A and B are shown apart, each in its own frame.
Chain A
Amino acid sequence: MTFLGMPAASLTGGNLDGEQPFPEAARLSVGNAQLRRNLGAATHTIRGKRAAVVSELPDWQELRAAGAAIKDDVLANLERYLLQLEQQVTARGGTVHWARDAQEANRIVTDLVKATGASEVVKVKSMATQEIGLNEALEQAGIEAFETDLAELIVQLGHDKPSHILVPAIHRNRSEIREIFLREMPDVDPALTDVPAALAEAARGHLRRKFLTAEVAISGANFAVAETGTLAVVESEGNGRMCLTLPKTLITVMGIEKLVPTWRDLEVFLQLLPRSSTGERMNPYTSMWTGAVEGQQFHLVLLDNGRTATLADPQGRSALRCIRCSACLNVCPVYERAGGHAYGSVYPGPIGAVLSPQLTGVDRNPSLPYASTLCGACYDVCPVAIDIPSMLVHLRARVVDDKREQHRLPSPEQAAMAAASWTMRDSRRWTRALRAVRLSKPLRGWRLLPPPLSSWISSRDLPAAPAQSFRDWWTEREKSRDE
């Protein structure tokens, strides 16, 4: 199957872009001292744990290469593997549904829940369902969704948005969580403390009744094995396993890129994922299921939502290798200061900056490819070796091309870039331009400059202009040597 020439993503619904461009949203979060503290502490802790367990494995680089190669094979042969998966799941009693975008996926899931007659569902932590805004869609249909992952529950009870892929409530600290629980849990002990064990216990009490009564569970999937039709969820708390096993109906929403070809391939990813995400050698719970067991129903919703459009870009498609470990978020100096909400999408941080604009089309997320200093820390830690910095640079060119197409007149930035290119491509022009810099001598004292240069002097002094450019000095020196 070739995806080239397919239309760019045109999505309906979903939580993949924000109301504000990144720089504006980030301005607010950078000014939030509490958020900066919470994030700084949390990301540095996970960063250290990851580094320690990764350094234990002598073959880490080989594992990374294997992870990348397996995912590249999946992406190159996606149609074949998807059809194989569908066949295997169906043969084992499951039902497979195909969803083009968020709206379609939400409709499929809502209809499936309605058909069971249930008005409540329990949910396993899942990025795909956050991506499509499933909870909101269910709510509109009069169905209440209960998040069972602790961090996801904190976000839901706080009427908040996730700000991290693995730890959606990373922007909250213990005392904030205690306040949310006291406010939102009807049956909570009013003497609740902010000791983590006490908070976890409160959540457990709150959720237990739901596990026992829920008829329907909704999950995502970390992996799907095409060869056997097996789905896998990897987690720390065990709440996911309760959802996957207790209710009569299980609905799984999964992005079409989550496939691995064979059972053996899981060996690679079950090493890469926990070490990269939580900094553990192994995650506490790995649940796998194949089709439906007797007396239960299993539905698998395969979600495109911009993924085939992403696949169409040869320089962008490796973003679909991502296994959502969040290692790139934890090392990102921009994420650490700006926080996840500034990215506007459920996928924040470096992977969000390359994935969200591709899923939505760059016109809907033009500021995200620029939300990086290109420091390269993300690429170093990514367990499937996605070269995020190079991809960001590529997407910036796509943003510029898109803007060129939309506006007939060049923007000030385009004009400046064209002028710089014209000056610098010719050494005579360049030499003259450098002399002009020298004439503007008091450079350092300048306090008033037009944007975007005004943002430089808001926090930094300009360098003093030198008396002479290097090339003029050199030319003089050469002359005096010849004499």
Chain B
Amino acid sequence: MRVALFITCLADGLYPDVAKATVGLLERLGHEVEVPLQQSCCGQMHINTGYPREAVPLIRNHVDAFAGYDAIVAPSASCTASIRHQHGEVASSIGDASLIASTAEIAARTYELSEFLTDVLEVTDVGAYYPHRVTYHPTCHSLRLLRVGDRPLQLLRQVRGIDLVELPDAESCCGFGGTFALKNPDVSTAMLADKMQNVLQTRAEVCAAGDSSCLMHIGGGLSRLKVGVRTVHLAEILAST
């Protein structure tokens, strides 16, 4: 099986440790990972802000970069969902038959990390050790677009040393929403405040999630409060030994 990593633009530029952890984890499980460097960004931000036209060249680049792999793994539910649900729609909207075909092909082989581990590799115990009190925030796109269900929790429950605590009102959105955080800063901050309050209630030292974007938002808020709670990506916990 030829496995490729879709780094995601955010992890590439701001959270390289998340991508390194993903590679480390998959290698530890005995899989060679390739990283086609032609990749950049899935174009989700463009599509969701109203610029599908500007996303087209990014989508073309993406399908070119990942042609020929058996599986493409991304440490992001949001980007995976965009590839799975939006790329085809944008391709259809411009009526490009070959792009419609190639986006469908790539979409069918793209997996969010927890999906890839539990569904394709069929492992839940990845041999991780993480001696910290952790609460898990299920991101909206993992829950409602990918329907990953409790896959991430199945993985986390097998981690040695972890003290996993349930997050109250976990399924509520954290308020990030891409450019929503900039266009509607007041509502975004109000949603973040409630999410942080729930995180703090758990007395966890770490808030984990499968999307660096939501974690950047929650982590940025927690850092501002100086409450000593960190955000950590699911991949980093699973990679840790």
Where the two chains meet, the residues of A that have a C-beta atom closer than 8 Å to any C-beta of B are 22-23, 26-27, 30-31, 36, 333-334, 337-338, 367, 369-377, 379-380, 390, 393, 396-400, 413-414, 417-418, 420-421, 424-427, 430-431, 433-434, 437, 444, 452-453, 455-456, 458-463, 465-466, 468-471, 473-475
Contacts and interface: CB of A to CB of B under 8 A. Distances in A.
14 contacts: A369-B50, A373-B140, A373-B175, A376-B143, A393-B47, A425-B40, A434-B13, A444-B223, A452-B182, A459-B220, A459-B224, A460-B220, A462-B220, A466-B17
B133 to A, nearest CB: 22
Interface of B, helix, strand, loop or mixed by DSSP: helix
Contacts of A374: 48, 140, 177-178, 180
A425 B40 CA distance: 7
| Residue in A26, A425, A434, A456 with the greatest tally of chain B CB atoms within 10 Å | A425
A379 B191 CA distance: 19
Contacts of B35: 471, 474
B172 interface: yes
A372 B180 contact: yes
A202 to B, nearest CB: 34
Contact of A471 (B12, B58, B183): B12
Interface in B55-70: 55, 57-58, 60-61, 65
Interface string B83-124: 001100100000000000000000000000000000000000
Contact of A373 (B54, B60, B180): B180
Nearest to A379: B144
Contacts of B58: 421, 424-425
Given A372-B180, A377-B144, A393-B48, A475 B9 contact: no
A470 B22 CA distance: 11
A461 B11 CA distance: 17
Interface in B2-22: 7, 9, 11-17, 19-20
A470 B156 CA distance: 25
Interface string B201-241: 00000000000000011011101100000000000000000
Contacts of B43: 421, 424
| Residue in B177, B180, B188, B223 with the greatest tally of chain A CB atoms within 10 Å | B188
A94 B162 CA distance: 71
Contacts of A427: 37-40, 61, 65
A23 B183 contact: yes
A375 B144 contact: yes
Given A333-B173, A460-B192, 17 more contacts: A26-B184, A36-B190, A373-B175, A374-B140, A376-B144, A390-B89, A393-B50, A396-B48, A400-B50, A417-B54, A420-B46, A453-B182, A465-B14, A466-B14, A469-B13, A471-B12, A475-B37
A462 B217 CA distance: 9
Contacts of A421: 43, 46, 51, 54-55, 57-58
A470 B7 contact: yes
Given A420-B46, A475-B37, A30 B145 contact: no
Contacts of A370: 179-180, 183-184
A382 to B, nearest CB: 12
A72 to B, nearest CB: 19
**Which 6 residue pairs are nearest across A and B when measured between Cβ atoms?**
A373-B177, A460-B220, A396-B50, A376-B144, A455-B185, A400-B50
Given A421-B51, A424-B9, A473 B187 contact: no
A304 B6 CA distance: 48
B186 A27 contact: yes
A399 B45 CA distance: 16
A424 B40 contact: yes
Contacts of A22: 184
A390 B48 CA distance: 9
B137 interface: no
B40 A430 contact: yes
B152 interface: no
B187 A337 contact: yes
A466 B16 contact: yes
A22 B179 CA distance: 15
A437 B191 CA distance: 29
